[in-house]
Amino acid sequence: MRDLSVTLIQCELAWEQPGDNRKQIGDLIAGLDEIPDIIVLPEMFTTGFSMNALANAEQPGGATEQWLRELAGRHDCALTGSIAVQADNGVYNRMLFATPEGIEHYDKRHLFRMAGEHKRYLAGGQRVVVTWRGWHILLQVCYDLRFPVFSRNREDYDLAIYVANWPAVRREHWRRLLVARAIENLACVVGVNRVGSDARGLDYSGDSLAIAADGTLLRDMENENGAARVILSGAALQSYREGFPCQLDADSFQLD
């Protein structure tokens, strides 16, 4: 199993200004010394965590999807993050995974009711694992982090990616749950959050993390604004799983 290079983009987001956010992120990517295998962007990276779902929603194949595909093709990498997308007579908080070959997506399953997200967005129903450069990758969005059964590793993924707009007031929950997901699932975990404040007055502390399967912090961005690169070791992941194969004693279950 080869190593996988991942760049975490942790930045402020202009409220409901997709063009400004795409430009900001594009400039950060253009300034990278080395293009990784995957670039991870925050949740709702074009608008911030807005409940103006219909006003902000793009159509499938819209401007942001085209932008992601162009970047993926130009740099020969994958890019992932979520945006609002209108489909099925509603709007999804949709996590896109763009590669030079096309776009796959995951629709956020657990909607954050404390902000009214469940009233403005449709809930996704399917757990999604994509494959890129020999790694199987589980796609997850923000509040999904609190529901470990949904993300339980059934020996079908090597890396879980969580994209988020997670407020600073609950930053310790974010940090501890990301580490827990790595340990309990014998998988690497990358969590990318935003920084700054939004139009609702919520502050975000960032705390984007990359974590090895044994819970070791490989990268901690704290409150940094910008990009950080990490190498996930395929050999180390395989060795840890072989030396501590607790998945062999896991309970079988099905998701309804």
Q: How do residues 12-41 score in pLDDT, each as one tens digit?
A: 999 999 999 999 999 999 999 999 999 999
The one catalytic residue among 43, 65, 104, 117: 43
What is the band of 152 on the pLDDT scale with cuts at 50, 70, 90?
A: very high
pLDDT digits (tens, 9 = 90+) for 103-148: 999 999 999 999 999 999 999 999 999 999 999 999 999 999 999 9
Average pLDDT, the chain: 97
- SS3 of residue 97 by DSSP: strand
Percent of the chain with pLDDT over 70: 100
Under 8 Å between Cβ of 14 and 21: yes
Please state the CATH superfamily assignment of the domain spanning residues 4-246 in this structure.
Answer: Carbon-nitrogen hydrolase (3.60.110.10)
- Helices and strands (DSSP H and E) totals, the chain: 6, 14
Please say if 12 is a catalytic residue. no
Please say if 222 is a catalytic residue. no
pLDDT given at position 253: 81
Contacts of 216 (CB under 8 A, 6+ apart): none
Phi-psi region of 222 (alpha: psi -120 to 50; beta: other; left: phi over 0): left
pLDDT given at position 74: 97
Percent of the chain with pLDDT over 90: 96
What is the band of 156 on the pLDDT scale with cuts at 50, 70, 90?
A: very high
pLDDT at 54 over 80: yes
Alpha-carbon dihedral sign for residues 55, 80, 29, 78 = negative
The one catalytic residue among 11, 58, 117, 142: 142
pLDDT at 151 over 80: yes
pTM of the model: 0.98
pLDDT given at position 255: 77
Please say if 108 is a catalytic residue. yes
Under 8 Å between Cβ of 98 and 132: no
pLDDT given at position 166: 98
Other CB atoms within 10 A of residue 127 CB: 18
pLDDT given at position 254: 81
The one catalytic residue among 58, 104, 108, 188: 108
